[in-house]
Amino acid sequence: MTSTPGASRDGRPLLNSRLAEFGTTIFAEMSALAVATGAINLGQGFPDTDGPEEVREAAVRALRDGRGNQYPPGPGVPELRAAIAAHQERRYGLTFDPDLEVLVTAGATEAIAASLLALVEPGDEVIALEPYYDSYAASIALAGGTRVPVTLRPDGDPGTGGAAAGRRFTLDLDELRDAVTPRTRLLLLNTPHNPTGTVLSRAELAEIARLAVEHDLLVVTDEVYEHLVFDAPGHLPLATFPGMRERTVTISSAGKTFSFTGWKVGWVTAPPDLIAAVRSAKQFLTYVSSGPFQYAVAEALALPDAYFTAFLDDMRAKRDLLASGLAAAGFAVHRPAGTYFVTTDIRPLGQEDGIAFCRALPERAGVVAIPNAVFYDHRDAGAPFVRFAFCKRTSVLEEAVARLKSL
Ligand SMILES: *Cc1c(COP(=O)(O)O)cnc(C)c1O
């Protein structure tokens, strides 16, 4: 959400006013810095190794067998829709009709955009948890909605650095309640939450559900990190709470769970009327996408529990490695309960401005990170926080930690 001065022609800006504030993302700037300085890129959240060999082979097989090489069906190939429904049932006991209640999209990104474009009328208010994933603000803007941020705030004080294991970014439920107005159309949630690593608790989700039912709100929930919850009870889909199955649009994606972020296979599960609405918008965005990859993801979703457990164990070890390394380097660390990001506080290092800190970090220490401030409307609230990704090879994380010791 960093903006750069937009190009114009004949005195008129080329980029329309809805998108003007979203010039270029911070990821482009920081990734360019990583390349220019040879720094280790812990900025953007993509794995530096590919997912399971058998899933990659499944994609190759689909390509060779001519499955998905032409336009797949608009809602997604039947095999994948059945696999998504089976996954929701096996993991969460949620049943969805694969023909009426499942929609395959071009990643979670398209699912988010299509949901907002379909469900939001210009002038409607959309409540989202701040800091937010950068596509939320842009998609709300494209839909003509007004975003109403509710800020997650760290409990405890940053102190003098170290791995304050208990500190998390928390949702103030009173603040959420106060944000609801007669113009509120929907809540846009994200748990596990990027960038803070917060996983909303059962009690918090129950309260959100009560609020949604009381005000008859729709909820769009981004659960792309559903398989990256490090502690019991694991992921709790909002749709499992009382009154939520019929008002929730649940979004997930294969990118994070199977480490194939380039395939862009995402999906929506929701009641038939909500799926039909989202599909109406989706059909004019991409129509369809990722043909052969859809067959491969269908196989991936049916992998035995051992895959998901091993993936989680590997990521937990990487979280611990990076979190303790950052603590040793003097950061205050908000140990994430989910996702593959660690949010740190730079104040114990004598710094206040995360954007300036991240711009200087590649030169100073040979590491790239992302300033959380770019994910906030209230930039001051996010100023001292900096995000590092740990979805990287262990040797890369070890080298990054060694470099950061110089701070
Ligand atoms: C990565 C990410 C997405 C995008 O997922 P794609 O399937 O790659 O489009 C959406 N939401 C959050 C919170 C993410 O971190």
Nearest C-alpha to atom 8 of ligand 1 is from which residue?
107
Q: Higher-confidence residue: 64 or 25?
A: 64
Give me 308's structure tokens. Answer: 């998901």
- Crossing angle for the helix pair 107-119 and 272-282, to the nearest 10 degrees: 110
- For residue 333, what are the β-bridge partners? 344
Which residues lie closer than 8 Å to 174 by C-beta, 6 or more apart? none
**Are 251 and 223 in contact, with CB atoms under 8 Å apart?**
yes
**Are 345 and 362 in contact, with CB atoms under 8 Å apart?**
no
pLDDT in tens, 307-362: 999 999 999 999 999 999 999 999 999 999 999 999 999 999 999 999 999 999 99
Which residues lie closer than 8 Å to 48 by C-beta, 6 or more apart? 391, 392, 393, 396
Ligand 1 centroid to residue 48 C-alpha, Å: 16
Residue of 224, 260, 261, 370 best suited for mutating to test ligand 1, as the one with most atoms within 8 Å of CB? 224
The arithmetic mean of pLDDT across residues 167-194, rounded, is 97
Q: Given a cut of 80, is residue 74 above it in pLDDT?
A: yes
Phi first, then psi, for residue 188 (nearest 5°) are -110, 105
Q: Given a cut of 60, is residue 4 above it in pLDDT?
A: no
State the Cα–Cα distance between residues 185 and 340, nearest whole angstrom. Answer: 30
Given this model, what pLDDT does residue 158 score?
A: 58
Q: Does ligand 1 have an atom closer than 6 angstroms to the CB of 372?
A: no
Nearest C-alpha to atom 15 of ligand 1 is from which residue?
194
Phi first, then psi, for residue 187 (nearest 5°) are -100, 135
Ligand 1 centroid to residue 24 C-alpha, Å: 17
The number of C-alpha atoms within 13 Å of 366 and in the hemisphere containing its C-beta is 12
The CA–CA distances, whole Å, from 195 to 250, 299, 320, 328 equal 19, 29, 17, 21
Phi first, then psi, for residue 22 (nearest 5°) are -110, 40
Ligand 1 centroid to residue 246 C-alpha, Å: 24
Number of other CB atoms surrounding residue 277 within 10 Å: 18
Q: Does ligand 1 have an atom closer than 6 angstroms to the CB of 253?
A: yes
pLDDT in tens, 275-314: 999 999 999 999 999 999 999 999 999 999 999 999 999 9
Q: Which helix (H) or strand (E) holds 283?
A: none
State the Cα–Cα distance between residues 118 and 44, nearest whole angstrom. Answer: 29
Q: Does ligand 1 have an atom closer than 6 angstroms to the CB of 197?
A: no
For the chain, how many helices (H) and strands (E)?
14, 17
Give me 176's structure tokens. Answer: 């959420």
State the Cα–Cα distance between residues 125 and 127, nearest whole angstrom. Answer: 6
Q: Does ligand 1 have an atom closer than 6 angstroms to the CB of 351?
A: no
Q: Given a cut of 70, is residue 13 above it in pLDDT?
A: yes
Q: Given a cut of 90, is residue 21 above it in pLDDT?
A: no
**Are 312 and 227 in contact, with CB atoms under 8 Å apart?**
yes
pLDDT in tens, 230-259: 999 999 999 999 999 999 999 999 999 999
Q: Does ligand 1 have an atom closer than 6 angstroms to the CB of 259?
A: no
Ligand 1 centroid to residue 252 C-alpha, Å: 8
Q: Given a cut of 60, is residue 2 above it in pLDDT?
A: no
**Are 315 and 390 in contact, with CB atoms under 8 Å apart?**
yes
Given this model, what pLDDT does residue 1 score?
A: 46
Q: Does ligand 1 have an atom closer than 6 angstroms to the CB of 190?
A: yes
Q: Given a cut of 90, is residue 104 above it in pLDDT?
A: yes
Q: Given a cut of 50, is residue 60 above it in pLDDT?
A: yes
3-state secondary structure of 194: coil
